[in-house]
């Protein structure tokens, strides 16, 4: 099974050959080649024998959130949001929710900020 970067902004799916595992004071880990985030690994191999590394399962699965602003013809911007929910198995995303237009803003940055604040609410609800 591939490793998946736990950084919610990244969530890179990495073949084992793509990552170099490292043994540090805190234990095994790898650093994501895309975003450099530290990802924890667990050695499930036989002690004293071969090392077999797996990624520990997390109960709160990461989500990927993409907030964008789409320019409209009248010069305003529509806030858009895509939220990808991970499968409980490692792999690709199970569900993608997609909002085309969450509101119209004069400024692109305001539109993105609005989409992000909605994402924060959604993810907070999903965790509880
Ligand atoms: Zn990453």
pLDDT of residue 22: 94
Ligand 1 centroid vs 75 CA: distance in angstroms?
A: 35
pLDDT of residue 73: 95
Ligand 1 centroid vs 107 CA: distance in angstroms?
A: 30
Ligand 1 centroid vs 36 CA: distance in angstroms?
A: 6
Identify the segments of the chain with pLDDT beneath 70.
58-62, 85-95, 126-128
pLDDT of residue 105: 96
pLDDT of residue 75: 95
Looking at the chain, the whole-number percentage of residues with pLDDT higher than 90 is 37
φ and ψ of 62, to 5 deg: -65, 155
Domain locations along the chain = 3-54, 63-127
Ligand 1 centroid vs 55 CA: distance in angstroms?
A: 14
- What's the CA gap between 71 and 44, in Å, rounded? 50
pLDDT of residue 121: 82
- What's the CA gap between 30 and 28, in Å, rounded? 7
Q: Which helix (H) or strand (E) holds 115?
A: helix 108-127
């Amino acid at each position: 099974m591939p490793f998946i970067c736990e950084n919610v902004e990244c969530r890179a799916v990495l073949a084992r050959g793509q990552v170099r595992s490292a043994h540090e004071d805190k234990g095994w880990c790898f650093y994501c080649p895309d975003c450099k985030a530290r990802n924890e690994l667990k050695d499930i191999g036989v002690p004293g024998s071969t090392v077999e590394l797996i990624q520990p399962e997390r109960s709160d699965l990461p989500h990927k959130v993409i907030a964008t602003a789409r320019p409209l013809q009248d010069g305003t911007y529509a806030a858009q949001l895509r939220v990808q929910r991970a499968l409980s198995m490692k792999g690709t995303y199970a569900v993608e929710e997609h909002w085309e237009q969450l509101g119209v803003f004069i400024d692109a940055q305001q539109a993105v900020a609005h989409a992000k604040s909605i994402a924060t609410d959604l993810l907070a609800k999903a965790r509880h």
